[in-house]
């Protein structure tokens, strides 16, 4: 006759299973997070590849961050940047970070397509374009604007970026819900991590960044910010030293670069 398990033996087995689960679950979670970071890297790389294809058809001239934004004329159906890229990348889902929340399919009657500057789309994108990259140049506008002349009327062209391998184009953005204010379709070093308009550090402190020369890598998000240029930290921040970060990446080609002399506001490279 087969002897049944005793209570002590059953408790030992349960305890062993619990210990194994405690050991393995974090490993599985880390593996899942690593896979999502790899997918996010692939997404931003495909986006910047689509950008390269786009400018081959436009003689090296880039698109607007949002249609009409450079002159203040964007409207509820204006294309945002990934709308311009749609014919080249064929998938709006490339503008979504797999580690972010899934976007709602609709909100207030506006269907999510990822192509238009409408309530729901621009907030829910979790990969954004560098706000300084094409025609929305905050520092440049504040320097060059004159009465009667629309700010940022001229788009940058490919030849005006001296360091393409360091020039940020796309990265993980701070996704917003439809009932919140804010934007998810761009990233800016002028805003703090996870703040409206800022980068996200959802990949265990990292952000997956694509550069103008079409390479992509994960970088510590905090290392791409200059503390006294972040508006949430310093209300007097001008944005003119945003390129002087310790990651040695460049945001605004119209602002001073670390190669400029004298060093920006005496800061040097952080």
Q: Where are the alpha helices (DSSP H) in the chain?
A: 7-56, 81-89, 121-124, 138-144
- Structure tokens, 159: 């030849």
Question: Left (φ > 0), alpha (ψ -120 to 50) or beta: where does 121 sit?
Answer: alpha
pLDDT 10s digits, 5-22: 677 877 888 888 888 888
CA dist 212 and 166 (Å) reads: 7
- Is 11 within a domain? yes
Task: Please determine, for residue 138, whether its predicted confidence score (pLDDT) is greater than 80.
Answer: no
- Is 107 within a domain? yes
Mapping DSSP to helix (H, G, I), strand (E, B) and coil, where does residue 116 land? strand
Pairing of strands 168-172, 127-130: antiparallel
Bond preceding residue 262 cis, omega within 30 of 0: yes
Residue 270: the pLDDT is 44
Report the largest interatomic distance among the alpha carbons of the chain, rounded to a whole angstrom: 99
Residue 147: the pLDDT is 42
CA dist 65 and 82 (Å) reads: 9
Closest CA to 219 of 171, 268, 162, 252: 171
Residue 14: the pLDDT is 87
Mapping DSSP to helix (H, G, I), strand (E, B) and coil, where does residue 69 land? helix
- Is 1 within a domain? no
- Is 172 within a domain? yes
Task: Count up the domains in the chain and report the number.
Answer: 1
Q: Which of residues 148 and 43 earns the better pLDDT score? A: 43
- Is 21 within a domain? yes
Residue 180: the pLDDT is 81
Query: Domain limits at 231?
Result: 7-266
- Is 17 within a domain? yes
Task: Please determine, for residue 171, whether its predicted confidence score (pLDDT) is greater than 60.
Answer: yes
Region 26-48: mean pLDDT is 85
- Is 164 within a domain? yes
Residue 188: the pLDDT is 93
Q: Which of residues 143 and 20 earns the better pLDDT score? A: 20
Closest CA to 62 of 145, 132, 163: 132
Pairing of strands 127-130, 186-187: parallel
pLDDT 10s digits, 72-85: 666 666 778 888 88
Share of the chain above pLDDT 90, in %: 33
Asked if residue 125 lies in contact with residue 187, where contact means CB atoms within 8 angstroms, the answer is no
- Is 2 within a domain? no
Residue 219: the pLDDT is 97
């Amino acid at each position: 006759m087969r002897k049944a398990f005793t209570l002590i033996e059953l408790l030992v087995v349960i305890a062993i299973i619990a210990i194994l689960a405690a050991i393995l679950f974090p490993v599985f979670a880390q593996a899942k997070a690593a896979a999502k970071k790899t997918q996010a890297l692939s997404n931003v790389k495909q986006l910047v590849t689509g950008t390269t294809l786009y400018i081959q058809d436009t003689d090296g001239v880039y698109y607007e961050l949002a249609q009409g934004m450079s002159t203040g004329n964007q409207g509820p159906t204006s294309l945002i940047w990934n709308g311009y890229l749609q014919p080249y990348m064929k998938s709006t889902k490339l503008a979504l970070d797999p580690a972010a929340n899934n976007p709602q399919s609709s909100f207030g009657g506006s269907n999510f397509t990822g192509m238009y500057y409408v309530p729901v789309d621009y907030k829910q994108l979790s990969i954004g374009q560098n706000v300084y990259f094409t025609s929305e140049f905050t520092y440049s506008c504040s320097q060059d604007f004159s009465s009667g002349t629309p700010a940022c009327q001229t788009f940058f062209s490919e030849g005006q970026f001296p360091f393409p391998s360091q020039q940020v184009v796309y990265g993980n953005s701070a996704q917003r819900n439809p009932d919140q204010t804010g934007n998810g379709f761009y990233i800016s070093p002028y805003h703090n991590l996870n703040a409206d308009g800022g980068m996200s550090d959802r990949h265990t402190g990292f952000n997956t960044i694509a550069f103008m020369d079409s390479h992509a890598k994960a970088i510590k998000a905090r290392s791409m910010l200059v503390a006294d240029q972040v508006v949430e930290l310093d209300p007097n921040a001008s944005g003119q030293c945003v390129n002087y970060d310790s990651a040695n990446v460049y945001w605004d080609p119209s602002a001073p670069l670390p190669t400029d002399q004298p060093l920006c506001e005496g800061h040097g490279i952080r």
